[in-house]
Every structure is written in C-alpha cells, then in structure tokens.
Amino acid sequence: MTCKGICTRYKAQKPVGTGRYASGQRRCQICEIFIKWEGLWCPCCGYRLRTKPRNLKYKAKLRARVEADAAASVQVRTSEKSEAIAISAESAEFVSTTMKTAVSEGWTKTKTIAELRKSEGMTVKKAKGLVDEAFGVRSKPIAINA
Ligand SMILES: [Zn+2]
Ligand SMILES: [Zn+2]
C-alpha cells in the first residue's frame, strides 16, 4: 500500500464555511490527502478511506462544548431545586399555617400573598401559585412543595 500519485487527480479543495468531512470529502492516511471520491477505498493506494474526523483537537473542542452545555443545565436545575428546598424546609409550617388561616378566615388573595411573602425565600410567583391553588381548587389538599 503506497501512494502511486493517482490521488492528486481527485484532490479536494478545502471547503468554505464547512468541514471537509461534512462536505463529503474523504481522507487517505497513506496518501495523506483529502479526495473527492465516492468509494470506501482509496483509488490510488487502495487503503480504506476515512469519512469521519479523528483529529484530537476537533474532538476536544466538541467534548468541551458538550461538557459546558451539561454544566450549564445542571447549574439551572440545582438553583431551581435549592429554591424549592429552601421554601419547603424552612417555611413549610409557616406556609401551611398561613394558608389554613387564610381559608378559614376568608382572607383575600392579596392579603394571603402578602402574608406568605413574610416567609423566608418566598417569591411572589410562588406565593401566588400557592394562593391560586388553595383558593381555586379547595377540594384538593394544598400542595406546598409543588
Ligand atoms: Zn496517493
Ligand atoms: Zn491513498
């Protein structure tokens, strides 16, 4: 398996805006050339052609991007989770008591939300959600951790 110089006839130009493999070019490791060739084997030396990149730099770049994406999504999930935990652990009893009082004494939604907001880590959105749930669907139990 040696280069016979035939491959230069099929030599592929570097494409603009895309990768060589992405544009259908194939690499012969023996001839050390990218060629425009449909077959699996080099028309010059007969060696198996490469159709996917094996460049370590390229792979590392790809892996780094995947890892960065994963880290970002984990970070989002963790912050959401910690907020929920903070509310359920520290304020569950307060919220529960407030909601019971609100329902039994017939507080307005606004007053209930205001009371709930005194709870540690309680956001307006969360308070509104709890109030809507308690006032809207009374048959269902109040889901504090929802
Ligand atoms: Zn060759
Ligand atoms: Zn070759």
- Same domain? 51 vs 88: no
Question: How far, in Å, is the centroid of ligand 2 from the Cα of 30?
Answer: 5
Q: Does residue 68 sit within a domain?
A: no
**99 close to 142: Cβ distance less than 8 angstroms:** yes
pLDDT in tens, the chain (146 residues): 799 999 999 999 999 998 899 899 999 999 999 999 999 999 999 999 999 876 656 667 767 777 777 777 766 666 665 555 555 555 678 888 888 888 889 888 889 888 888 887 788 888 888 888 777 754 455 566 65
- Nearest ligand, CA of residue 50? 2
Nearest ligand to the CA atom of 46: 2
Task: Return d(Cα 67, Cα 64) in angstroms, integer.
Answer: 5
Q: Are residues 53 and 91 in the same domain?
A: no
- pTM flag (> 0.75): no
Give the domain range for residue 17. 1-58
Radius of gyration (Cα) for the chain, nearest Å?
A: 32
- The number of domains in the chain is 2
